[in-house]
C-alpha cells in the first residue's frame, strides 16, 4: 500500500488525478476512511465546533489539536492516508519562531505528516521558516475561519477584482514560500479555476467549485450527522443523524420494556 506523500500529491496534480480529503478527529473514523482510500485526513480545528460545540474555531487549543491528531494518526498506522494537523489560532501568527516551536511540537508529538496554517502573503515568511527546517505546510486562503470577524462573517471571498487579485497573489506567495498545497475556501469557481491553473502545487477546494485539484468536506457534514448545519457547497452523502436518533429510540424502548438484554446478550455461570 503506497502512502500519500507531498510528492505523491504533486504527481496527482500533474496527472490530473483528483485528490480526496475529509476532516477526521478520531481513530475509529480514521481507520474507516483510510480503508476507503481517502488521500488526506485533515484534523481540522473545526473539531472545536463539531465536537466541542463552540461557536467558532477561535478557542481551539494546541493541546486539543495534538490530542485529536494523535488519535487520527493512530487510526492510520500502516495505512496510506496523509494526516494533516490544523494549527489553531495564535499558535503560528505571533512570529515565525513561535510557529516553528508549535508546529514542530505538533509533528513530534502526533506523528502527523504536515501542518495547515491560514493566511496568504502575510504568512509567507512563516511558511518559508517552517519548510526550511523540514515541516511540510499546507496553506489556506479565501474564507479563513480564524479571521472570520475581520472578514465580516462567513462570506464568499474574492468577488471583486481587487479581492481576486489579492487571493491570486496569496496563492503564489504560499507556493513560492514552499507550501505543498493550498486550501481554497468559499472562493468563486472561476477564480478558483484561475488559481488552480496558475499553480504547480495542488489546490484543495471547499466551496470553491469543481476545477480545484481536490475537494475537502467536514466529515460530519458529509455524513449528515450534523443536521443543524447546511451550506450550498455541502453535499450530504448520508443522513446518519436520523439513523442515530432512531437507534437510540429503539434501544431506550427495549431497555424500558425489558426486551434488552435478552438471553443471547447475557452470561451464565
Q: Would you name the residues annotated as active-site residues?
A: 185
Nearest to 114 by CA among 98, 89, 144, 134: 134
What beta strand segments (E) does 14-149 contain? 19-23, 40-43, 82-86, 114-116, 137-142
Q: Residues with Cβ < 8 Å from 122, sequence gap 6 or more?
A: none
Cα–Cα dist 86/161, whole Å: 30
Strands 40-43 and 137-142, by their bridges, are: unpaired
How far apart (Å, rounded) are the C-alpha atoms in residues 207 and 91? 26
Cell digits of residue 2: 503506497
Instruction: Single out the residue of 78, 74, 85 nearest to residue 40, CA to CA.
Output: 85
Return the percent helix, strand and coil in the chain, to nearest 5: 45, 15, 40
Amino acid at each position: 500500500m503506497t502512502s500519500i506523500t507531498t510528492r505523491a500529491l504533486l504527481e496527482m496534480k500533474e496527472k490530473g488525478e483528483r485528490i480526496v480529503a475529509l476532516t477526521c478527529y478520531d481513530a475509529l473514523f480514521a481507520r474507516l476512511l483510510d480503508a476507503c482510500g481517502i488521500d488526506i485526513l485533515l484534523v481540522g480545528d473545526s473539531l472545536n465546533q463539531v465536537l466541542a460545540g463552540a461557536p467558532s474555531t477561535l478557542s481551539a487549543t494546541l493541546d486539543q489539536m495534538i490530542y485529536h491528531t494523535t488519535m487520527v494518526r493512530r487510526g492510520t498506522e500502516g495505512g496510506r492516508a496523509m494526516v494533516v494537523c490544523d494549527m489553531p489560532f495564535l499558535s503560528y501568527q505571533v512570529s515565525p519562531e513561535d510557529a516553528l516551536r508549535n508546529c514542530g511540537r505538533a509533528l513530534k508529538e502526533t506523528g502527523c505528516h504536515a501542518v495547515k496554517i491560514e493566511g496568504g502573503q502575510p504568512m509567507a515568511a512563516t511558511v518559508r521558516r517552517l519548510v526550511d527546517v523540514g515541516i511540510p505546510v499546507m496553506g489556506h486562503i479565501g474564507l479563513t475561519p480564524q479571521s472570520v470577524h475581520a472578514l465580516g462573517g462567513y462570506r464568499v471571498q474574492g468577488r471583486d477584482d481587487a479581492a481576486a487579485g489579492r487571493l491570486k497573489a496569496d496563492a503564489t506567495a504560499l507556493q513560492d514560500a514552499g507550501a505543498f498545497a493550498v486550501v481554497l475556501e468559499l472562493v468563486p469557481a472561476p477564480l478558483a479555476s484561475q488559481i488552480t491553473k496558475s499553480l504547480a502545487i495542488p489546490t484543495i477546494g471547499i466551496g470553491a467549485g469543481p476545477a480545484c485539484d481536490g475537494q475537502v468536506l467536514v466529515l460530519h457534514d458529509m455524513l449528515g450527522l450534523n443536521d443543524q448545519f447546511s451550506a450550498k457547497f455541502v453535499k450530504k452523502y448520508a443522513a446518519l443523524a436520523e439513523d442515530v436518533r432512531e437507534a437510540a429510540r429503539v434501544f431506550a424502548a427495549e431497555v424500558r420494556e425489558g426486551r434488552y438484554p435478552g438471553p443471547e446478550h447475557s452470561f451464565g455461570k
